[in-house]
Structure 1
Amino acid sequence: MTQIPVTLDDFLARARTRLLPAPDLTGEPPRGDHELTPEFRAMVDIVAARAAAVLIPVIARPQPTVLLTLRSSHLPDHAGQIAFPGGKIDPQDRGPLDAALREAEEEVGLGRGFVAPLGYLDAYLSRTGFRIVPVVGLVQPDFGLTLNPGEVDEAFEVPLDFLMSPANHQRESREWLGLTRTFHAITYEQRRIWGITGGILRSLYDRIYG
């Protein structure tokens, strides 16, 4: 498979017509960890889903990039994994967009004034019971970051064309609690992007370029 040539203008044109204009807050999540490991669905359905949101920050460079974070190695959950800025939707948040922007400010110091919302992806159901709404936002390239060391060890950019090339998408499996867990994964310069982040990136590809 050949790598998709991704330009900013082409991405924005596709985003305007293919992203969801409003978040899906109550419908059946069509995407999630259960897509590749169906056994997860029965495990998740026995608990109340918890609302969460992540920001997919697409940086408006001539060759656009995506801002990702390396979660702190001291966190109790998903320590040392690559993730989007995001987290639980708090009662004071006005919705997924507000939550995603707040989390980006808290985690990496990305000011919300630098982010223009483009739309939403389908809700993503994690094996841990979070119903995650991915918010796609265009970030002006003159932003600055201040990392919260309690949550993030590093922030870095990955070219969007690399992430959106099917040739770079893998499916991997590992044993977990007696199950064979299968998940999406992408490796970029020795960085392994997998799990929820890999699944949401695949969802972005399917909606924008699939």
Structure 2
Amino acid sequence: MLKNFILCFLIVFCSSSYAQKTEVLNKFSEISISGKIKVEILEFEQDRILITKGEKYLKYNVLKERLTITSSAAVADSVTITVYFKDINKISAANKPVISIKMDTQRENFTLDVKESSSVTGFIKSTNFKLLSQSGSSVSLEGSCDNADIKAGGKSSVEAQKIIFKKCDIELTDSGARVFVTDKLNAELTKSRLEVSGNPAKFNKKVSPDSVVTNPL
């Protein structure tokens, strides 16, 4: 019986090990992700990809410093990968991927463009940050950014109270957001809800009658 157990363990272990694949990639500064897939994006000294599960559902290539990743899986849990980057300035996501990001060094500019029920969480560092969230996507971020330009629409949600923005321009349509701003906030809301922390020194707002702005102390 013990012999059978050991044999089963070795089969499972070998199968698991074989399923993993690591590949060094050509230089990229942008990532585009589409499809149901779980992706962890981490800063590293070399551009590379680690496929933990679901390689048969996965396609990826680097062209003109853009890493494109697509998944044909029916559920996100079927494909699990880690992308390591040396330098990056934009991440795009569509069609329900689940993404986590962790940056260690400050970037001058960083853009996050998500749509079609994409989910993004993580820690970012950027002097100038641009976020576009559409079609039921959700974004929850921590980190440090001086200036932010945020647009969310189509029942999207943005959680950014754990990033201290000095200046922030935010436009919401049929969506919700929470932000922390210290110096200047420009907000335009249509059928949306905005929660503001940080007590910004200047707060300019254009709010439709069916929108709500709260400023908890």
Normalised by the shorter chain, which TM-score bucket?
under 0.3
What TM-score results when the alignment is normalised by the length of structure 2?
A: 0.25
Higher CA-based Rg: 2
